[in-house]
Structure 1
Amino acid sequence: MTDWLRRRLNGLPPPVRQRVRRLWLSLVPIGQCAIAAGAAWWIAVNIFGHPQPFFAPIAAVVSLGLSLGKRWRRSVELVAGVTIGILIGDLLVSQIGSGTWQIMLVVALAMAVAVFLDNGPLIPMQAASSGVLVATLLPPGGVGGFHRAIDALIGGVVGMIIVALFPVNPAHRARRDAAGLLATMRDSARTLVSGLREGDADVVASALESARGTQEAINEMRADMRGGREVSTISPLYWNARERLARISATADPIDNAVRNFRIIARRALGMTQRGEPLRPEIVDILADVGEAFEVLREMMIAKPGEEPDQADAARVLRTVARKAKAELVSDSTLSETAVMAELRSMLIDMLMIAGLRRSSAMATLR
């Protein structure tokens, strides 16, 4: 059944396929938000007896969101922002009434207090929106304001409980993001090699453009790695995944650095190709090996524990490539060719670190 669905998905037009995959990957967070919203409302109504606790489901949904990262912080910021907005709104509206200038004053004071207390973006927005609700739609003062603050707290707590009881697999997204980036680098390296061998500046430029377009994916990878570690801390179901998450998260900086080094290599290669300056065939061959090494790293990243290739397998492949990247290859080369080799060796160090080596060990491999 899974293979059939995958074939059907791959048969869709690329824009539709991308949207379907995005929806598929978001199904668990969407389900978490839906369950948390309903549970928060039920608790506020049936246990605490609040007649219209709409802050409870709102707080639950905002504290979770679709992003896995910083859910603890979002919950705290949300409750704090709602509380600040409610207290200031209740205090002012009960004394000065409601109207245009009163709303302006409530929003200004609520956001000012929130900014003074914390530099996060969520607290000021929640403080302002809660203050506006009090100033326009909700009766101020008395027990109602206290109930609204309690509702926000209920929503935030319920959100965290849902994360603990129905968690997203903390390693899945992180591995998927890293593997996707490594696949992009594999393809970019192959394109770069093809362009260099053909002397085609347009092909080399397309490799550079592909590498330059990875920053959003890098940011998403980092966010999902942080979120995965947070889930493995909150949920007892994934406490045993902490060590694995730590290993996966340790690849974030080396992957980022490898992509940056590849961009420099591609940019210098583009300049050489445009000037009609050939790059030594031995270096181009090493770049071809680098492309295959990126594929091994991708397979390593998506392999389950105990499957191959593992970090040791990837490190063996990269050591073989590193032995070819000798500084002597450019002992009598131009400045541009020497610079390409220097960045190539630096990128190999990053790739060895993705495979689990410490930086000192990776550097020793290239001495």
Structure 2
Amino acid sequence: MRIAGYLRASSRAPLSQVAKTSLATVLAWLVSTVVMGEPLPIFAAIAALLVVQPSVNQSISRGIERSIGVILGVLLASAAAAIFAAGSWIVLAVVVAALLLGWVLRLSPSSATQIPISAMLMLSIGAATPNYAFERVLETMIGAAVAMTVNVTIAPPVLLVPAHVAVSRLLRECAATLEHLARSLREPQDAASLEELLVHARSLRSLESAASAAIATGEESLTLNPRRAAHRRVLERESQLLGRGRVLARRILGMSRAFRDHYDANLHNEPTVSEIARELSRASHDLVLLANENDPPPATTPRGKRGTAGSVTAAIVSEDGNPASTPIDDDLVPALTAPLMIPRPHPQHWVLIGSLMEDMRRVREEITGEADG
């Protein structure tokens, strides 16, 4: 079972990618046969298989890399064959020289690997085949060109949905952590509960990284994509939300850490702390509204009904499933009030209260958009 786990990927490519790769391979084979009269254009098919990538930009890059690797490998092998006599040691020496050449030129792994492969084929097969070098280069370039053309013209992928899902998940988990912190401020906490809150807040880092990677993948899918104009604005919106979510995640982690480090058993009796907890619940509510801005409304949701899956209510309930102690009057209306004003913090808790207030100010700015202005 463990061996099978190493061999299998966590996710598989879309079926459309498999269909495009198959089509590109068949077309490269047919075009090479017609243009070059080659009955078995293996290298054109190999180039097509390797060049079709998930994005247009990657496909073009891979085509250029493979062509450069083939040309350098053929030139290196031709020079070695012209200078030295035939022999097995020449093949090994050229392979080492090809690897060093790729290292010196700082080529990508794809190009650096292609150089020794082409050189070995040139010295082993090309020595007995006239015009092998020229035919191999031309055949490879035909396969790469066909593959790039297929990937550009037939439904080039636009990977925006994973970016939207990742950013929305980050914002919703930030909201859930804010509500978790609000509950912790209202009730006495033991050491295990404090650590659980901090672990929850630290998990936002991995969600932030996943959202950043999804945004980068989305940008990659739009680079050189003929459909990029229709989707660029959507990705820019997700990138803007990610920037706000990144700030929120770091502020929430700081609040959770400060609460853990400066916790006092009587903290929940402090009136100012109760007000901060109320504002945290309001911030959680509004953050879910922000995450839901780009989500289409459920088609089966009756007008005015609340508490459906994915609604704001789900983010502001207590751990036992009961409503939070500071319910929001309207789940669809922003709930944040003006920033709290504390003229004289409690002398025993002033460090924690001041830290929470400063972080709450930045959280409020990010949720309302005031930080962008």
TM over 0.5: yes
Q: Deviations over 1:132-176 (max 9, x none)?
A: 5545x6435852222332333333333332332222234333323
Q: Does 1:345 align with 2:338?
A: no
The 5 Å alignment of 1:43-54 reads 43-54=31-42
**Equivalent residues of 1:330, 1:337 under 8 A apart:** no
Counterpart AA for 2:361: R
Q: Considering fraction of residues, name the structure with more helix.
A: 1
CA distance in structure 1 between the partners assigned to 2:164 and 2:120 by the alignment: 42
Residue 259 and residue 40 in structure 1: after superposition, are their counterparts in 2 closer, same or farther (change >3 A)?
farther
**Equivalent residues of 2:33, 2:39 under 8 A apart:** yes
**Equivalent residues of 1:89, 1:131 under 8 A apart:** yes
In structure 1, the partner of 2:308 is: none
Counterpart AA for 1:300: E
Counterpart AA for 2:233: E
In structure 2, the partner of 1:125 is: 113
CA distance in structure 1 between the partners assigned to 2:213 and 2:250 by the alignment: 16
The 5 Å alignment of 1:1-367 reads 22-23=11-12, 26-66=14-54, 70-92=58-80, 95-96=83-84, 97=86, 99=88, 102-103=91-92, 105-118=93-106, 120-134=108-122, 138-140=125-127, 143-164=131-152, 165-198=154-187, 199=189, 200-230=193-223, 233-235=224-226, 237=227, 239-273=229-263, 278=267, 280-303=273-296, 320=334, 323-326=337-340, 328-329=341-342, 332=345, 334-352=350-368, 361-362=370-371
Larger of the two Rg values belongs to structure: 2
Structure 1 position 211, deviation (Å): 1.3
Please give the secondary structure, in 2, of the residue aligned with 1:150.
helix
Structure 1 position 90, deviation (Å): 4.0
Q: Deviations over 1:85-138 (max 9, x none)?
A: 3332343356544536743x3344334433444564443233344445545x64
Residue 92 and residue 162 in structure 1: after superposition, are their counterparts in 2 closer, same or farther (change >3 A)?
same
**Equivalent residues of 1:195, 1:203 under 8 A apart:** no
CA distance in structure 2 between the partners assigned to 1:254 and 1:281 by the alignment: 26
Q: Deviations over 1:250-301 (max 9, x none)?
A: 444333343333333333333344x658472333333333333343233224
Q: Deviations over 1:162-209 (max 9, x none)?
A: 332222234333323323333443444444444454422133033124
Q: Count how many residue pairs are aligned between Structure 1 and Structure 2.
A: 321
CA distance in structure 2 between the partners assigned to 1:214 and 1:151 by the alignment: 45
Q: Deviations over 1:204-231 (max 9, x none)?
A: 033124213225413421322212322x
Q: CA RMSD in A?
A: 4.0
CA distance in structure 1 between the partners assigned to 2:60 and 2:69 by the alignment: 14
Residue 344 and residue 239 in structure 1: after superposition, are their counterparts in 2 closer, same or farther (change >3 A)?
same
Structure 2, unaligned runs of 5 or more: 298-311, 313-330
Normalised to the residue count of structure 2, the TM-score between the two structures is 0.68
Identity %: 19
Normalised to the residue count of structure 1, the TM-score between the two structures is 0.69
**Equivalent residues of 2:171, 2:288 under 8 A apart:** yes
Residue 175 and residue 124 in structure 1: after superposition, are their counterparts in 2 closer, same or farther (change >3 A)?
same
Structure 1, unaligned runs of 5 or more: 1-15, 305-313
Bigger CA drift: 76-85 or 247-256? 247-256
**Equivalent residues of 2:286, 2:336 under 8 A apart:** no
Counterpart AA for 2:11: R
**Equivalent residues of 1:77, 1:123 under 8 A apart:** yes
